[in-house]
Chain A
Amino acid sequence: DQQVKQNSPSLSVQEGRISILNCDYTNSMFDYFLWYKKYPAEGPTFLISISSIKDKNEDGRFTVFLNKSAKHLSLHIVPSQPGDSAVYFCAASASQGAQKLVFGQGTRLTINP
């Protein structure tokens, strides 16, 4: 049972345009959500996060939106750059003891020149 789902395995966007990556979750106990970026042969690197008390968090070109009623979050990248080409994972956790992250399957983003 996949508690966190990224239904788009891949996404292709033109350089300079907006990239929107989506993530859905089923567990209503999740109260913290994170996005990680992963290049080949490297570990995931933390990108941005949001707690359930907010509906938006911005960090430079990256904005994460959280819709708790729909159990949906999205990551917006504006403007998209070639270096943004990577696999993006969303993850979620519930505030109980150790932070056990539950990851989605990942979306491969390709930025075309």
Chain B
Amino acid sequence: DAGITQSPRHKVTETGTPVTLRCHQTENHRYMYWYRQDPGHGLRLIHYSYGVKDTDKGEVSDGYSVSRSKTEDFLLTLESATSSQTSVYFCAISASGGSYNEQFFGPGTRLTVL
């Protein structure tokens, strides 16, 4: 199994509070991704990183920001959480970009915004 951990695994917070989710990898992979999973939508890409300090937006980036100061860590921040951000968040890594490279997923973080 790819060495990917996510913290926290579960979090309950209130509307308007900031929240940071952490993804940590031990594979030294260049690419890291944040997805959210919601019923009826599958997984949707929020942000991704193609190197330290190099990030870009995905399909559903509004309300989220990311940072990557080290190869092994990719942080997802909800500046002011809303109930629509209640979801399960997955981090993924891949050795390289482009096609023909599968992504490996972490165990997920279940976030509830009240």
CB distance from B91 to the nearest CB of A (A): 8
A75 to B59 CA separation, bound complex (whole angstroms): 26
Of listed A43, A100, A105, residue having the most chain B CB within 10 A: A43
Q: What separation, in Å, do the CA atoms of A92 and B48 have in the docked complex?
A: 16
The listed residue (B42, B103, B105) touching A99 by CB distance below 8 A is B103
For B100, give its contact among A32, A42, A46 (CB under 8 Å): A32
Is the Cβ of A89 less than 8 Å from the Cβ of B42? yes
The answer to whether residues A97 and B97 also contact, given A34-B102, A43-B106 and a CB cut-off of 8 A, is yes
Answer whether residue A81 sits at the interface, using C-beta atoms and an 8 A cutoff.
no
| Pairwise interchain contact A98-B105, C-beta atoms closer than 8 A | no
B25 beta carbon closer than 8 Å to chain A? no
Task: Classify the secondary structure of A's interface with B.
Answer: loop
User: Digit string of A40-52 for contact with B (CB within 8 Å is 1, else 0)?
Assistant: 0111111001010
Residues in B whose Cβ lies below 8 Å from that of A102: 45, 59
Alpha-carbon gap, A36 to B68, bound state (A):
26
Contact status of A99 and B99, CB under 8 A, knowing A89-B43, A104-B42, A105-B40: yes
A91 to B45, CA, bound (A): 12
Q: Does A58 contact B (CB under 8 A)?
A: no
Q: Which of A19-46 contact B (CB under 8 A)?
A: 31-32, 34, 36, 41-46
23 A-B residue pairings within 8 Å (CB atoms): A6-B42, A32-B99, A34-B102, A43-B4, A44-B90, A51-B99, A51-B100, A89-B43, A93-B99, A97-B98, A98-B56, A98-B97, A99-B97, A99-B98, A99-B99, A100-B33, A100-B45, A100-B48, A100-B58, A100-B59, A101-B43, A102-B45, A105-B40
Using CB atoms and an 8 Å cutoff, list the residues of chain A in contact with chain B. Answer: 4, 6, 31-32, 34, 36, 41-46, 49, 51, 89, 91, 93-106
